[in-house]
Structure 1
Amino acid sequence: MNIKYDLIVIGGGALGAFHAYHALEAGLKVAIIEKDKQPISATVRNFGQVVPSGMDTKWQNYGRESLKIYDDIQSRFDITVRKNGSVYLASNQEEVQLIEELSTINKHNAYESHLLTKEQCLEKYPGLKSDYVLGGLFFPDEVTVEPRVMINRLLEFLIKEKGLNYFGNTKVINCDAVSGETIVTTANGVVYKTSKVILCCGSEFKTLYPELFAKSDIEVTKLQMLQTKPQLSYELKGSILTGLSIRRYEAFYECSSFSEIKAKEEPNSFEKKWGIHILFKQATDGSVIIGDSHEYADAANMDDLGFDLRMDVDDFMIAEAKKIFNLPTFEIQNRWYGMYSQCKENDIFQHTVDNNIHIITGIGGKGMTGSAGFSKENIKNIFNLK
């Protein structure tokens, strides 16, 4: 190819697309190479909740920057962003204590949140059961997106409005630094030249650098989710996170009583074994998405996770969901699982090959929330921008 790029991003999911976005914003010539026609992995197999509130301080800052970026793009191009807030619903006094402590932390971090009484929760969220909730913590600035639509709209925006070159159904088979530039070769024999490469796809990482991949601390997580049939004449606003989420999300690790409360939990419970916490989010068609679970394997052994859905996990999640909300229908129309990679010891995997090939993957469950903000800082660092 006669075109030389400033940056080629391998992988068109949220992490790759937002790296491309910030590079394009900086005036760079950018291409994305995506192995599938369009992204079909972790980016489209999640809730679409953008919840900086659930992250530790470092990633909450990236998430808050992401909120600004989502808002800015949405003002120019519809990528399905809905600013409808997030709430954490406490079901007992320990969880009330944790949301009160997190509220104090938020005040120190200047991140807006509001404690809700039991009565305010019941008024704000129709169908919420009185015998479940004791209080809530609401984050008004947080947003939801439709993940299966958002990423394609984002890529469309980058192509039409920002000049992105997008190559779908294109498998990269080689990536080498040669005489001061980087050569990217695809399975169909096309060669691309670029100054820098950012590799954001875990499977492409495994293909291109198998030895480095095998030595990494990457593990794969399998999550199960369900979707009800549309709830007629019923509206559930925003992201709904419940007591098990309070006991799981990293933001609460910073609460002074968290360790003591966690130590009291039953270690052999079903929800512990399968990493279950109960979330709700209503999609634009009126259906409600319910989840999720977490099952782990080293990346090298990810096939051990299998491709079946565990019906006992689904049944447990539905039973727990019915304890929290009285939805018009719990009839399930879709069931699926998502797979995402994360690091055991680090918050994200970063490694540079030959100075100009940057492997950035393993963002885990932070992708939809943190990618936009993290990528902004990372592009500045990689290209030495002010």
Structure 2
Amino acid sequence: MTSSYDLIVIGAGALGTFHAYHAAKAGKRVLLLEKDRYPIGATVRNFGQAVPSGLAGRWFDYGRRSLEIYRDIQQETDISVRQNGTIYIASDVDEWTLANELHDRYQQIGYVSELWTKAQCLAKYPTLKPDYVVGGIYFPQEMSVEPEQMIHRLIAFVQQKYGVDYRPGSVVVDAQSTASGATVTLSNRQQFQADRVIICSGHEVRLLFPEVLAQAGLVVSKLQMLLAEPVAGLDLPGNILTGLTIRRYESFQECPSYERISVNTPEHLAELKKWGIHILFKQATDGSIIVGDSHEYAEATQAEDLGYHTQDFINDLMLAEARRIVTFPLTVRKTWAGFYSQTKNEIFEHSIDSNIHIVTGIGGKGMSSGAGYTEHNIQQWLK
């Protein structure tokens, strides 16, 4: 017998699970299917930083709303959200110029930001190297989560609070429209029926509608990241982003001086820029410190070419730059590679028909903006 739902979501990463959350909260019967025993993709391999300040266009608006959603859920159950803010540390005059211009822009639209002097940055973060710091721009409302905990706690919450039917280890091999909606078929031939299906498959492009995804312009980004051992007495609250981040993130690219500054990368940053490296720090609740990251790219249909390994010389580049920024010891506990899909068109949204929809390729914006974006998607469906 085929079980029936209002919505089936395929993929239980942040994008899929937040779709399930918003639909179930609106009273819909939701089935959430995950091919692995638990999510192991981009959602658990990132910094766990919710930083709308780095986003542009509608993604900033989704990010701003995401902060409210995170706050609302955290008030009901602990999904590891902490509101400790975000600081971008400018290391030279150009980066400080961009920080000032972004501050001016956010003042105009009512998004709280504070310009910090070098002395203020060092007072808050005394392990920053003084010769690195020119100043900073701080966003007190921004948040962080524990990436290896958040999604599991969120899934448990949507099950317990809203009755989402979550089925891990469910590999969907087919999705077909029917007269009354859509039917999905698992690898074990079990079938489920729903009015609508949303596919949030991350960088998996071969299981469902491979011919569509092959033409989607999707690119996979491979990121290398490190986890450093806790340091006694070290307190690094919030999300700490640095000069290379200012030179990279979309919000700074909208600043008046960005075009001039972007063509004049300092020579000592050229090799880092070649590998898409910018340095971020995020201290976990156990005191360990996530450090990263780098970016390598391949077409989604050729993602294997990126390799499953991490490259020591990239890790060494990141560690050398990190040690140029902070004074505390960085003793590596483990390293890993993360993968996410992205597209030049911000995200890949495609309707197979009125019943089956693909949503993927959100890039590095998922943790910061996914909660708000998926709310908008579900609201459009419910209209």
Task: Give the TM-score category using the shorter length.
Answer: over 0.9
- Residue equivalent to 2:282: 281
- Residue equivalent to 2:87: 87
Aligned equivalents of 1:68, 1:203: Cα separation in 2: 28
The range that moved more, 176-185 or 132-141, is: 176-185
**Which letter maps to 1:3?**
S
- Residue equivalent to 2:235: 235
- Residue equivalent to 1:134: 134
Contact persistence 2:244–2:278 (CA under 8 A): yes
- Residue equivalent to 1:320: 321
Measured after TM superposition, the shift of residue 269 of structure 1 is 2.0
Aligned equivalents of 1:105, 1:58: Cα separation in 2: 15
Measured after TM superposition, the shift of residue 25 of structure 1 is 1.1
Aligned equivalents of 2:203, 2:319: Cα separation in 1: 32
Measured after TM superposition, the shift of residue 33 of structure 1 is 0.5
**Which letter maps to 1:364?**
G
Contact persistence 2:50–2:368 (CA under 8 A): yes
The range that moved more, 180-189 or 372-381, is: 180-189
Measured after TM superposition, the shift of residue 108 of structure 1 is 1.4
Residue 366 of structure 2 corresponds to residue 367 of structure 1: yes
SS of 1:5's equivalent in the other structure is strand
The range that moved more, 243-252 or 304-313, is: 304-313
Contact persistence 2:47–2:290 (CA under 8 A): yes
Measured after TM superposition, the shift of residue 203 of structure 1 is 5.1
TM-score between both structures, scaled by the size of structure 2: 0.98
Contact persistence 1:85–1:138 (CA under 8 A): yes
Aligned equivalents of 1:59, 1:181: Cα separation in 2: 30
Deviation string for 1:134-177 (max 9, x for gaps)? Answer: 10000000000001100000000001111000010010011000
The range that moved more, 43-52 or 57-66, is: 57-66
- Residue equivalent to 1:291: 292
Q: Where does 1:31-46 land on structure 2 (aligned, <5 Å)?
A: 31-46=31-46
Which runs of 5 or more residues in structure 2 are unaligned? none
Residue 304 of structure 2 corresponds to residue 303 of structure 1: yes
SS of 1:373's equivalent in the other structure is helix
- Residue equivalent to 1:112: 112
The range that moved more, 227-236 or 291-300, is: 227-236
- Residue equivalent to 1:337: 337
Contact persistence 1:277–1:291 (CA under 8 A): yes
Measured after TM superposition, the shift of residue 14 of structure 1 is 0.2
Aligned equivalents of 1:354, 1:180: Cα separation in 2: 13
Contact persistence 1:274–1:295 (CA under 8 A): yes
Q: Where does 1:236-255 land on structure 2 (aligned, <5 Å)?
A: 236-255=236-255
Aligned equivalents of 1:333, 1:235: Cα separation in 2: 18
Deviation string for 1:242-265 (max 9, x for gaps)? Answer: 000000000001100000000112
| Structure 1 residues 221 and 203: alpha-carbon distance in aligned structure 2, compared to 1, 3 A threshold | closer
Aligned equivalents of 1:249, 1:206: Cα separation in 2: 30
- Residue equivalent to 1:177: 177
Aligned equivalents of 1:256, 1:202: Cα separation in 2: 34
**Which letter maps to 1:383?**
L
Q: How many residues get paired?
A: 382
The range that moved more, 44-53 or 307-316, is: 307-316
Residue 26 of structure 2 corresponds to residue 11 of structure 1: no
SS of 1:207's equivalent in the other structure is coil
- Residue equivalent to 1:346: 345
Contact persistence 2:2–2:191 (CA under 8 A): no
SS of 1:208's equivalent in the other structure is coil
Contact persistence 1:238–1:281 (CA under 8 A): yes
Contact persistence 2:349–2:360 (CA under 8 A): yes
**Which letter maps to 2:368?**
T
Measured after TM superposition, the shift of residue 204 of structure 1 is 5.1
Deviation string for 1:254-291 (max 9, x for gaps)? Answer: 10000000011269921121000000010111011110
TM-score between both structures, scaled by the size of structure 1: 0.97
Measured after TM superposition, the shift of residue 318 of structure 1 is 0.6
Measured after TM superposition, the shift of residue 126 of structure 1 is 2.3
SS of 1:121's equivalent in the other structure is helix
Which runs of 5 or more residues in structure 1 are unaligned? none
- Residue equivalent to 2:22: 22
Aligned equivalents of 1:174, 1:235: Cα separation in 2: 49
SS of 1:64's equivalent in the other structure is helix
Deviation string for 1:289-338 (max 9, x for gaps)? Answer: 110000000001101001121111111111111111111x2110010010
Q: Which runs of 4+ in 1 moved over 6 A?
A: none
Q: Where does 1:90-101 land on structure 2 (aligned, <5 Å)?
A: 90-101=90-101
- Residue equivalent to 1:382: 381
**Which letter maps to 1:26?**
A
Contact persistence 1:8–1:31 (CA under 8 A): yes
Measured after TM superposition, the shift of residue 340 of structure 1 is 0.3
Aligned equivalents of 2:336, 2:205: Cα separation in 1: 25
